Amino acid sequence: MKLHNTERNYSEKLKDIETLARGLPAVSIMEICGTHTMAIGRSGLRRVLPDNIRLISGPGCPVCVTHDREIDNYLELAKDKRVIIATFGDLLRVPGSKGTLNAARSQGAGVVVVYSTLEALRLASNNPDHEVVFLGVGFETTAPTAALSIIQAKSQGLGNYSVYSMHKLVPPALEALLCDGSVKLDGFICPGHVSTIIGASPYTFVAEQHKKPCVITGFEIHDILDGLHLLLLQMRQNKAKIDIQYIRGVKPDGNPIARKTMDTVFRTGDVLWRGFGVIPNSGLHIREEYRDYDASVKFGFAMDHHYINEKEAICSCGDILKGLKTPNECDLFKGSCTPLNPFGPCMVSTEGACAAYYRYEA
C-alpha cells in the first residue's frame, strides 16, 4: 500500500485523467461518502470527465440509509411525554411512515437539537424527571462519541440517559454491493471521515477478493481528482489495491483509541439498510453490560426485518443508494420531491445524492 500526496493545478490533473482514461472501456466508480457526493456536484466534475468515466453515488449518507423501521421507532417514542429526544439537526425533517420529528416537535413533543453527545448528557443531567434518548445515527465516524457518552453516563450514574443506536458500518455495505452484482462497479472512492477511524485494512477484501481498486481521498476537489488519477493508474496497470490519497487525515491503522472505545460499548449485528434490506453484521448494537443505556432495550423497540412501508416503495432512494438509479431518474425528483417538500431522506440530508443533484446537477 502506498501513500500519495500530489499538488498540481486542476487542469493538469484533468489532462492526466484524460490520458489515463484513453483506451479504457467504460469505467464506473462509486463514491461512498455524502461529502464526496456534494463536492463532486458542487465542482461540476461529472460534466468535465471523459465520457468513459462514470461517477456513481453510493450508500455514503448515514441519514439516507437509516431504515423507515428505525425512523418510525423513534417517532413513536417522541409521543411519550416522559421522553426528551436529543438529536442532530439532520434527522428533524427525515420522513417516516408517520411524519417527521419536526412535525412531532410542533405538536409538543420533547425534541431538542444537540451538537454533541456531551450536550445530550447535560440534557439528561438537567432533566432528571425525563428520559433523554440520544438518536445515534452515523457510520464509524460518529459511533465512538456515542459509545463514549454511554461510558460517561454509566460513570456518572445517569440512569435517565440512553442511546438508540442506528449506527452502521461501511465495509459490510461494500460487500453487499459487490455480492449483489446489480451494478457494474470498477472501483471505489472510499470515505475519508470513516477511514480516519478504521484505517485502510477493512477495505482489503474489496481489492483482494473482488479485484476492485480503492482510493481513500479527502474532500477538496483536488483530492478527488488525485483519487481518480490513482484509481485509473491501478486500472491501467491491471492492479487492485488500497491507496491512501488523504494522508493528512488517514493513517493506515486509523485511530485505535476511537476503535477501542467503540468496541467497548458496541458489538456488531444484523441491521436493516434502506434499499438493501438486512446486511449481516453491519450494525452496531449496544453490548449486554451497557443494556441499561440501550434505548431499544429500555423501550422495547421491535426490529421487524420484513418491515414494508408503502411510501418507501414509491421513493427511489433505495435504488439511488445502491447505484441502480441517479436522482434525476426518479419520477418524483423535482416534482413532488424537492428540498422544501422532501419525499425521501436522500432529498432531506445535506449529504444526500438527491439534494446534491437538485442543487448542482439538475
Q: Is the pLDDT of residue 115 over 60?
A: yes
pTM of the model: 0.93
pLDDT of residue 4: 47
Residue 164 near residue 73 (C-beta atoms within 8 A): yes
Which of 65-69, 218-222, 226-230, 303-307 shows the lowest mean pLDDT across its residues? 303-307
Q: What local confidence, expressed as pLDDT, does residue 3 receive?
A: 42
Q: How large is the average pLDDT for residues 47-75?
A: 95
Residue 6 has pLDDT above 60, yes or no: no
Q: What is the mean pLDDT of residues 127-137?
A: 97
Supply φ then ψ for residue 320, to 5 degrees: -70, -40
* Residue spans per domain, the chain: 1-309, 311-356
Report which of residues 308 and 58 the model is more confident about. 58
pLDDT of residue 2: 45
pLDDT of 361 reads 84
Using the predicted structure, report yes or no on whether residue 312 has a pLDDT greater than 80: no
Mean pLDDT of 309-319: 77
Cα(243)–Cα(19) distance, integer angstroms: 20
Using the predicted structure, report yes or no on whether residue 202 has a pLDDT greater than 90.
yes
CA angle 292, 139, 85 (to 5 degrees): 45
Amino acid at 24: L
pLDDT at res. 336: 92
Q: Are 15 and 42 in contact (CB under 8 A)?
A: no
Q: Distance between CA 62 and CA 273 in Å, rounded?
A: 10
CA 37 – CA 34 distance, rounded (Å): 5
pLDDT mean over 269-280: 94
pLDDT average, residue stretch 15-39:
95
Q: Which helix (H) or strand (E) holds 30?
A: strand 27-31
Task: For 323-353, write each residue's pLDDT tens digit.
Answer: 999 999 999 999 999 999 999 999 999 999 9
Q: What is the pLDDT of residues 240-272, one digit of tens each?
A: 999 999 999 999 999 999 999 999 999 999 999
In the three-class reduction of DSSP (H, G, I as helix; E, B as strand; rest coil), residue 281 is classed as: strand
The continuous run of DSSP H or E covering 283 comes out as strand 277-286
Please give the single-letter amino acid code of residue 204: T
Residue of higher predicted confidence among 314 and 183: 183
AA identity, residue 21: A
Can you read off the three cell numbers belonging to residue 35? Answer: 461529502
**Residue of 230 and 361 predicted with greater confidence:** 230
Taking the C-alpha atoms of residue 34 and residue 191, their distance in angstroms, rounded to an integer, is 9
> In the β-sheet with 161-165, what is the strand arrangement from edge to edge?
110-113, 83-87, 131-136, 161-165
The stretch 289-300 carries a mean pLDDT of 96
Three-state DSSP state, 77: helix
Residue 23 scores a pLDDT above 70: yes
**Residue 55 forms beta bridges with which residues?**
29
Residue 9 has what pLDDT?
Answer: 81
Say if residues 281 and 172 touch (Cβ distance below 8 Å): yes
1-309 fold:
Rossmann fold (3.40.50)
Q: What mean pLDDT is reported for the chain?
A: 93
User: Across residues 11-17, what is the average pLDDT?
Assistant: 91
Q: Is the pLDDT of residue 64 over 60?
A: yes
Supply the pLDDT for residue 5. 45
**CB contact at 8 A, 131 and 84:** yes
Q: CA-to-CA distance for 112 and 131, rounded, in angstroms?
A: 13
Q: What grid cell was written down for 193?
A: 471521515
pLDDT band at 97 (very low <50, low <70, confident <90, very high): confident
Percent of the chain's residues with pLDDT above 90? 89
The β-bridge relationship of strands 27-31 and 277-286 is unpaired
Rounded distance, CA 362 to CA 357, Å? Answer: 5
Helix/strand/coil (H, E, C) string of 185-254? CCEEEECHHHHHHHCCHHHHHHHHCCCCCEEECCCCHHHHHHHHHHHHHHHHCCCCCEEECCCCCCCCCC
pLDDT exceeds 70 at position 45 = yes
- For residue 307, the model assigns a pLDDT of 58
